[in-house]
A and B are shown apart, each in its own frame.
Chain A
Amino acid sequence: MKAEIRVALVGNPNTGKSTLFNLLTGLNQKIGNFPGVTVDKKTGFCTLPDNRRAEIIDLPGTYSLYPKSRDESIVFSVLADRVHEAPDLVVVILDASNLKRNLLLYTQVADLKLPVIVALNMMDVAKKDGITIDINALSKKLGVSIVPISARRNEGIDELKKAISYANKFALQQDSIDVKSIAPQLVEAIGQELQIDNPYYALQLAHQHETLTFLSDTESNRIEQLELEHGFHTQKAQATETIARYNYINDLLYDTVKKQESAQEETTSNRIDRILTHRVFGFIIFFGILLFIFQAIFAWSAYPMDLIETLFIWMQTGVHNLLPAGPLTDLLADGVIAGLSGVLVFIPQIAILFAFIAILEDTGYMARVTFMMDKVMRKVGLNGKSVVPLIGGFACAVPSIMSTRTIENWKDRMITIMVTPLVACSARLPVYTLLIALVVPDRNVWWIFNMQGLALTGMYVLSLVSAIVVAWVMKYILKARERGYFIMELPVYRMPRWNNVLLTMFDRAKTFVLEAGKVIIAVSIILWVLASYGPGDNFKQIEKKYSEPQYGQKMKPTQVEHAIASEKLESSYAGYLGHFIEPAIKPLGFDWKIGIAIITSFAAREVFVGTMATIYSVDGNGDEIQSVKAKLGSARNTQTGQPTFTLAVAFSLMMFYAFAMQCASTVAIVYRETKDWRWPAVQFVYMTLLAYGASFITYTLLK
């Protein structure tokens, strides 16, 4: 259904814009992409009191129309895009407790002369701070209707909907500053050249023409030429404009807003900050919270993950039983369903991780983490804001890499993207669990520490250390595109909005399934073909061999089946590839069987366990780590008679999985976020080299 009116929501970060968006649209929203850039476009529908349908566009929070990050650059593009449809109405949401800074963005938007109304949020907070606002007087001065709301308490939303439906088709707001005086001739010239009658629009084009996708090259070049002719200095013009705007705002607020001078009572936020950003307690609390999140991700996700796995195994068996046997059934059951299971099984962990991140962000604590960690992170070439993706990396690199978009600085963001896949994600866990159980004794040392637990913890610590070291190296390799800075609002502490937490969980899980899912499934199908077909009539020969009576007499039918499966895998294309790469991986202590597992787990690391189960023709359910472990433990090298999985081989394999980019979805997401194939290529190469080196050293030292 087409919307009858398009409404854009604009506002500073931390003003409750997304809460308002959720209130207006409910679950009736979708996430798309803005054309040409990978910034999520959140749109939703809302029915107005007059029964018209309004499409609401939630634009990224920004302090000004001059963008500091990729997300922010969308705001002006959408408001000014005359090629596609510009919105019919802009709702500017202002934080009543911090009106002065919020009004800067309002005056900029208003000067674009689109129809505007103001939603004045956080009236309750302002009241508590002793701020009184004469809404009628302010509304008259601005020439727009102002609707007081409290998005958290769901107050004033109906009035806002009414105001949206009564809103004018024409911009009636008062001019704020004399825009023309900033660059009179240039504004005039651009106006004539491009038929623009709005001086602020012309001025913004002068500032931003290089990055606007809706301008043609000739238009952009012409603007550049005019700038040179008129000696336009973008930074100076911007400074003049900002000062003029704040002068206007000060005049505006002088007799409309009164603040009671309270007796310097310390705010609650300040008191909380005293503890949470304390020299000592600050870090202890932060690491405590991290530990708790970490524990929760694994503890709480265990049951739903089991459930999902069981469900898919049940589906696989069902498909095999119901459909006639044949390659199509196999493809569906062992290719598609198995691939799907590999994606969906991570949803619980991703949902839990992002629920925690949403809570930390919502309460305002994340900003403090950034504040506390900035100095350390900067030393290694990262940024306080890189903490979130790196923590997220423990669950899954895919959503974590998506969350790097909040990092304004290009170089910091790129380094964060490049090192996040090194963090031990949950797909490595089954590989580590299996290999550790195989070679590390289940014994306690120093009374309380379990040796297997220590080995696993070691792998996690190693992952974080390697990410930091690589980041530090990249700091010297990558050239900065712009100056790094860290000017960030520390929002007041608030209770998390549970709706928002749920929606974030849902959003992230959905994006993960859609983004990572298609790649994993595609690669799973290819790998299934490689593992299920072999050159020539190899497979027929195997079946013929086992149909001879001697096997039926000596072995149980299931044993014959496993033996066939194992031998088929060896003579499949994947098996040939395994043999083919054996010389290359021999120095790492791996044989062709491990080679096959490395190839089949290219799409997703956890596939390693299942492949090992098939190769070693494990009896019973191959997903049972215990049965795989028993089989691998008894595997012997055919030439030496020694166990195949020695301490050296197992640790060498763990090192390989710690560093190698065995994840097709991460490759895809890095491409999507950087829009340049060279980034995932470089990442893949450096990680593979690291993996090879680390495995080689480990094997050589331990053997």
Chain B
Amino acid sequence: MKTLSKLQIGKKGIIKEFTDLEMSLKLMEMGCLPGEEITVERVAPLGDPIAVNVSGYMLSLRKQEASTIILQ
């Protein structure tokens, strides 16, 4: 099972589903929807959180939150 948190900088993935319903509500409102392409743009200097490009803008989220996003 490949999750967003395991994606390297500069790599893309397509969102498949979520492991956490409550978290998924927030993520989906912010444009992280199943079928959407998501690119890891950078990682914060201390290794967490990460910044991703999704739905045409830059979103930052913690690694632990990224681990609830399963990629295809």
* B59 and A490 contact, CB distance less than 8 A: yes
* A374 and B62 contact, CB distance less than 8 A: yes
Q: Which of B1-56 contact A (CB under 8 A)?
A: 21-31, 33-34, 41-42, 44-49, 51, 55-56
Nearest CB in chain A: distance from B7 CB, A? 17
* B45 and A487 contact, CB distance less than 8 A: no
Name the contact of A243 in the complex, choosing from B33, B56, B60, B61 (C-beta under 8 A): B33
Interfacial chain B residues near A162, Cβ < 8 Å: none
* B48 and A243 contact, CB distance less than 8 A: no
* B65 and A487 contact, CB distance less than 8 A: yes
Nearest CB in chain B: distance from A204 CB, A? 15
Across the interface, name the chain B residue whose C-beta is closest to A234: B25
* B30 and A282 contact, CB distance less than 8 A: no
Interfacial chain A residues near B48, Cβ < 8 Å: 374-375
A260 in the interface, Cβ–Cβ < 8 Å?
A: no
Name the contact of A485 in the complex, choosing from B21, B55, B56, B65 (C-beta under 8 A): B65
Name the contact of B29 in the complex, choosing from A104, A278, A367, A375 (C-beta under 8 A): A104
Name the contact of A483 in the complex, choosing from B22, B31, B49 (C-beta under 8 A): B22
A242 in the interface, Cβ–Cβ < 8 Å?
A: yes
Complex CA distance for A277 and B62, rounded to whole angstroms: 16
A68 in the interface, Cβ–Cβ < 8 Å?
A: yes
Complex CA distance for A371 and B49, rounded to whole angstroms: 7
* B28 and A277 contact, CB distance less than 8 A: no
* A236 and B26 contact, CB distance less than 8 A: no
* B44 and A372 contact, CB distance less than 8 A: yes
A127 in the interface, Cβ–Cβ < 8 Å?
A: no
* B44 and A489 contact, CB distance less than 8 A: no
* A235 and B21 contact, CB distance less than 8 A: yes
Complex CA distance for A112 and B55, rounded to whole angstroms: 25
A239-B49 CB under 8 A given contacts A270-B41, A485-B65: no
Q: Which of A245-298 contact B (CB under 8 A)?
A: 246, 259, 269-270, 273-274, 277-280, 282-283
A518 in the interface, Cβ–Cβ < 8 Å?
A: no
A282-B56 CB under 8 A given contacts A63-B29, A66-B25, A487-B65: no
A98 in the interface, Cβ–Cβ < 8 Å?
A: yes
Across the interface, name the chain B residue whose C-beta is closest to A482: B22
Q: Which of A124-161 contact B (CB under 8 A)?
A: none
Interfacial chain A residues near B51, Cβ < 8 Å: 273, 277, 371, 490
A235-B22 CB under 8 A given contacts A101-B30, A277-B42, A488-B59: yes
Per-residue contact bits, chain A 109-135, to B (CB 8 Å; 1 contact, 0 not)? 000000000000000000000000000
* A269 and B58 contact, CB distance less than 8 A: yes
Residue of B24, B25, B34 with most chain A CB atoms under a 10 A cut-off = B25
Per-residue contact bits, chain A 484-516, to B (CB 8 Å; 1 contact, 0 not)? 011111111000000000000000000000000
Complex CA distance for A274 and B48, rounded to whole angstroms: 16
Nearest CB in chain A: distance from B14 CB, A? 15
* A277 and B59 contact, CB distance less than 8 A: no
A64 in the interface, Cβ–Cβ < 8 Å?
A: yes
Nearest CB in chain A: distance from B4 CB, A? 12
Name the contact of B30 in the complex, choosing from A238, A367, A371, A487 (C-beta under 8 A): A487
* A68 and B26 contact, CB distance less than 8 A: yes
* B55 and A277 contact, CB distance less than 8 A: no
Nearest CB in chain A: distance from B9 CB, A? 12
* A64 and B49 contact, CB distance less than 8 A: no
Complex CA distance for A490 and B59, rounded to whole angstroms: 6
Across the interface, name the chain B residue whose C-beta is closest to A63: B29
Complex CA distance for A376 and B49, rounded to whole angstroms: 11
Across the interface, name the chain A residue whose C-beta is closest to B20: A483
Complex CA distance for A235 and B27, rounded to whole angstroms: 13
Name the contact of B21 in the complex, choosing from A66, A104, A236, A376 (C-beta under 8 A): A236
* A239 and B45 contact, CB distance less than 8 A: no
Nearest CB in chain A: distance from B41 CB, A? 7
Name the contact of B46 in the complex, choosing from A63, A238, A376, A485 (C-beta under 8 A): A376
Per-residue contact bits, chain A 215-249, to B (CB 8 Å; 1 contact, 0 not)? 00000000000000000000110110011001000
* B44 and A487 contact, CB distance less than 8 A: no
Across the interface, name the chain B residue whose C-beta is closest to A267: B58
Nearest CB in chain A: distance from B31 CB, A? 4
Complex CA distance for A618 and B34, rounded to whole angstroms: 74
A100 in the interface, Cβ–Cβ < 8 Å?
A: yes
Complex CA distance for A486 and B23, rounded to whole angstroms: 10
Complex CA distance for A278 and B45, rounded to whole angstroms: 6
Nearest CB in chain B: distance from A458 CB, A? 27
A64-B58 CB under 8 A given contacts A278-B45, A374-B48: no
Interfacial chain B residues near A274, Cβ < 8 Å: 42
* B60 and A486 contact, CB distance less than 8 A: yes
Interfacial chain B residues near A235, Cβ < 8 Å: 21-22, 25
Complex CA distance for A239 and B59, rounded to whole angstroms: 20
A489-B65 CB under 8 A given contacts A63-B29, A376-B46: no
Nearest CB in chain B: distance from A139 CB, A? 21
Interfacial chain B residues near A277, Cβ < 8 Å: 42, 44-45, 51
A243-B45 CB under 8 A given contacts A98-B57, A101-B57, A486-B60: no
Interfacial chain A residues near B42, Cβ < 8 Å: 273-274, 277
Complex CA distance for A488 and B51, rounded to whole angstroms: 9
Name the contact of A283 in the complex, choosing from B28, B30, B45, B58 (C-beta under 8 A): B45
> A: which residues have CB within 8 A of B?
63-64, 66, 68, 97-98, 100-101, 104, 235-236, 238-239, 242-243, 246, 259, 269-270, 273-274, 277-280, 282-283, 367, 371-372, 374-376, 483, 485-492
- Sampled A-B contacts (21; CB under 8 Å): A64-B29, A68-B26, A101-B57, A104-B31, A235-B22, A242-B25, A243-B28, A269-B58, A274-B42, A282-B45, A374-B44, A374-B48, A376-B46, A485-B23, A485-B61, A486-B60, A487-B27, A489-B59, A490-B51, A490-B58, A491-B58
